[in-house]
């Protein structure tokens, strides 16, 4: 019985990657924004149709830095969602800001736009919504709310690389969008991330933040850190970007097979496809509600059969020990998020997942019934 992991990194052909990095053995230029870094940045700006892309060694530091670049007053409030990975909330708090947790909707599991305005106070400075599973937030309503109240919008778009809404890349929504290029994502640079934005004035700030504020051999203008993407990461990104469309097409076939097998089964809820959205098929969440076994029991049954699933997102960030004393913390104050967190599993999904293995996974789930 072969083991099926919940995700598996897409990688280019070995010889293709070796050819891409071969020149480094001549230049010995391994980091500090070399040729591969510059090419990858240019490739992304073209692919995403985005004015500015700044590359980072991981998505978390990218998010921390774009929040810091906005220069909010310490103690200011940022409205966000707890239905996310720890990084989102940590990036807010590590900038000396206060996360205000808004519930999510039960359709696409993104922030509930109908509840945002009730959380705005005179200390609110920004909204930090999270695109989830490849589903995108209600970007139009969020923009309208932000404009009405003079707030910044920074998207955690870690799940939404290559997603488009009515033909527009998710890189172009809000004041900035952060993408993660972690090995588990649809598109990876081994580790890595990027921030996308249109404001010309942010370019030098973001570059200062990720490279110690160094602008020349004898010029350090900013108290920055170190978050540079290496040449090896950039080279992986260049290679993987060449094959992204075919990778997404393969993922789509996996998702379609899951939908064919699991749609209409009582006690299972599948996330509806969003109108106007060109998906990247990042994850396949299934909500177990009134099924033959609860979510945790299904998780265990799959594990017994060598199949990895993920309780994603569980636990909610507003139930973390470190956030229990924060305003609006506690899963009881975000009931929809709490309900879903207790019931959702993301099933294995990657480009090379055989449809026979999808059938095997579905057979196990269906037999539980």
Q: Where in the chain are the domains?
A: 14-242, 244-368
Answer yes or no: are the C-beta atoms of 103 and 119 closer than 8 Å.
no
The per-residue pLDDT for 331 is 87
Q: How far apart are alpha carbons 62 and 253 in whole angstroms?
A: 32
pLDDT confidence of residue 327: 87
- Cβ 67 vs Cβ 89: under 8 Å: no
| pLDDT exceeds cutoff 90 at 277 | yes
Which of 3.40.50.300, 3.30.1130.10, 1.20.140.10, 3.40.640.10 would CATH assign to domain 14-242? 3.40.640.10
pLDDT at residue 166 in the model:
98
86/156 Cα distance (integer angstroms) = 12
φ/ψ bin of 194: left (φ > 0), alpha (ψ from -120 to 50), beta (otherwise): beta
pLDDT in tens, 313-324: 999 999 999 998
Residue 193 in this model has a pLDDT that exceeds 80: yes
d(CA 322, CA 328): 13
pLDDT at 151 over 80: yes
Q: What is the rounded average pLDDT of the residues 296-301? A: 97
- What was the pLDDT predicted at 1? 65
* 98 pLDDT tier (thresholds 50, 70, 90): very high
pLDDT at 2: 83
Kind and range of the H or E element at 216? strand 214-216
Give the pLDDT of residue 4.
Answer: 96
What are the φ/ψ torsions at residue 9 (nearest 5 degrees)?
Answer: -65, 135
**Model pTM score:** 0.97
Task: Check residue 307 and report its DSSP letter.
Answer: B
Q: What is the pLDDT of residue 291?
A: 95
Q: Cα-atom radius of gyration of the chain, to the nearest Å?
A: 21
- For domain 244-368, the CATH architecture is Alpha-Beta Complex (3.90)
Residues 225-252 have a mean pLDDT of: 98
| β strands within 97-213, DSSP E | 98-101, 124-128, 152-156, 164-165, 168-169, 176-180, 193-197
- What mean pLDDT comes out for the span 344-358? 98
């Amino acid at each position: 019985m072969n083991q099926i992991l919940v995700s598996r990194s897409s990688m280019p052909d070995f010889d293709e990657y070796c050819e891409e990095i071969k020149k480094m053995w001549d230049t010995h230029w391994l980091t500090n924004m070399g040729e591969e870094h510059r090419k990858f940045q240019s490739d992304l700006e073209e692919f995403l149709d985005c004015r500015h892309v700044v590359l980072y060694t991981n998505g978390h530091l990218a998010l921390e830095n774009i929040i810091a670049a906005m220069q909010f007053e310490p103690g200011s409030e940022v409205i966000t969602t707890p239905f996310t990975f720890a990084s989102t909330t940590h990036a807010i708090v590590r900038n000396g800001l206060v996360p205000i947790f808004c519930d999510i909707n039960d359709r696409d599991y993104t922030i509930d736009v109908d509840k945002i305005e009730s959380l705005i106070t005179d200390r609110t400075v920004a909204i930090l919504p999270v695109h989830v599973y490849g589903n995108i937030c209600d970007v139009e309503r969020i923009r309208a709310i932000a404009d009405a109240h003079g707030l910044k919008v920074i998207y955690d778009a870690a799940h939404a690389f290559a997603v488009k809404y009515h033909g527009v890349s998710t890189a172009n929504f809000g004041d900035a969008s952060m993408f993660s290029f972690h090995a588990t994502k649809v598109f990876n640079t081994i580790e890595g991330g990027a921030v996308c934005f249109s404001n010309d004035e942010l370019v030098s700030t973001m570059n200062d933040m990720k490279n110690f504020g160094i602008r020349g051999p004898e010029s350090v203008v900013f108290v920055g850190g170190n978050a540079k993407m290496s040449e090896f990461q950039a080279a992986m990104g260049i290679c993987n970007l060449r094959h992204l469309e075919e990778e997404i097409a393969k993922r789509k076939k996996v998702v379609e097979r899951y939908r064919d097998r699991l749609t209409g089964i009582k006690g299972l809820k599948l996330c509806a496809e969003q109108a106007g959205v060109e998906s990247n098929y990042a994850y396949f969440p299934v909500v177990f509600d009134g099924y033959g076994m609860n979510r945790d029991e299904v998780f265990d049954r799959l594990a017994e059969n060598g199949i990895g699933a993920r309780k994603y997102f569980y636990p909610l960030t507003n139930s973390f020990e470190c956030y229990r004393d924060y305003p609006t913390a506690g899963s009881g104050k975000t009931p929809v998020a709490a309900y879903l967190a207790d019931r959702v599993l993301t099933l294995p999904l990657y480009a090379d997942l055989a449809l026979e293995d999808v059938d095997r996974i579905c057979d196990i789930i269906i037999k539980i019934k």
